[in-house]
Amino acid sequence: MPNDKLRPAPTIGIDIPPGYNEIPLDDLDTLMQTVGPVITDSVPGQMRDDVPNILGTLHFMLATLASNNALYSGIGLHRTAEPEAGRMAVSWLTVSSFDYGEERNPRLVLSELIKAKADTKAQGKLAMVESPTVPILYFEWTEKHAAPAIASYPAAGDTPEVFQIEATVPSRDGTAIAVVELSTADPGIGPQYRGMVLDMAASVTFPQPPSDSRSSSLAL
């Protein structure tokens, strides 16, 4: 995504699916103080010395999301569909928005984003999906990450895989974009989230902030 295009996040509306628990991004210090004792009490005794490092990593990650225009972040727990029906799957959902510049055809915006991915040699499945209002740029890929170094919980492998989906929605006038991102550490069930993410992307609206600066309950 071309960095010189990005300015403060505009207000958007979006439908968040059931099953996600929101992680507030506006007061991370208070959040860490709240969840710290809960995590400490819920892990085995031999892991408790590692809790401060885990909280520090979580704080850094959430602060990075907030600084990159994330409006929503949540953890979801859902039952899988066929062929592995009934297994519980965990996913991470993030919604961001960006002011993207002058008015123009939204297809030109997505064409520019496609070029940016090509320039960075991003590899994955990319498609332009038509919605009732504007096209959606869909991109999915599987990425390997270094396993976290937790002394009391040796990693099962050095490079676990994470399945990721990114759906980018331009406003009708091309002046803003919204990005829906999903990640799961279970690549086998990752494709089951495709329809959900596209439904979320299709639900995005770019409402103007009301005159009293208060947003509606559906706005981020």
**How far is the C-alpha of 190 from the C-alpha of 183, rounded, in Å?**
8
What is the spatial distance between Cα 182 and Cα 157, in angstroms, rounded to a whole number? 22
- How would you write the pLDDT of the chain (220 residues) with one tens digit per residue? 545 555 566 889 999 999 998 888 877 777 777 767 766 666 566 666 776 776 777 777 777 777 777 889 898 888 888 777 778 888 999 999 999 889 999 999 999 999 999 999 999 999 999 998 899 999 999 987 666 565 555 554 566 789 999 999 999 999 999 999 999 988 989 999 999 999 999 999 997 655 444 433 344 5
Query: Which tens digits make up the pLDDT trace of 194-215?
Result: 999 999 999 999 976 554 444 3
The distance between the two most distant Cα atoms of the chain, rounded to a whole number of Å, is: 58
Residue holding tokens 């403060």?
8
Domains of the chain: 3-22+72-203 (3.40.1000)
DSSP state of 14: -
C-alpha pair distances (Å), 34 with each of 24, 28, 29: 12, 10, 9
Question: CA triplet 45, 48, 51: central angle to 5 degrees?
Answer: 160
- The Cα 108–Cα 112 span in angstroms is 6
Beta bridge partners of 20: 76
Q: What whole-number distance in Å separates Cα of residue 213 and Cα of residue 73? A: 22
User: What pTM, to 2 d.p., does this model score?
Assistant: 0.79
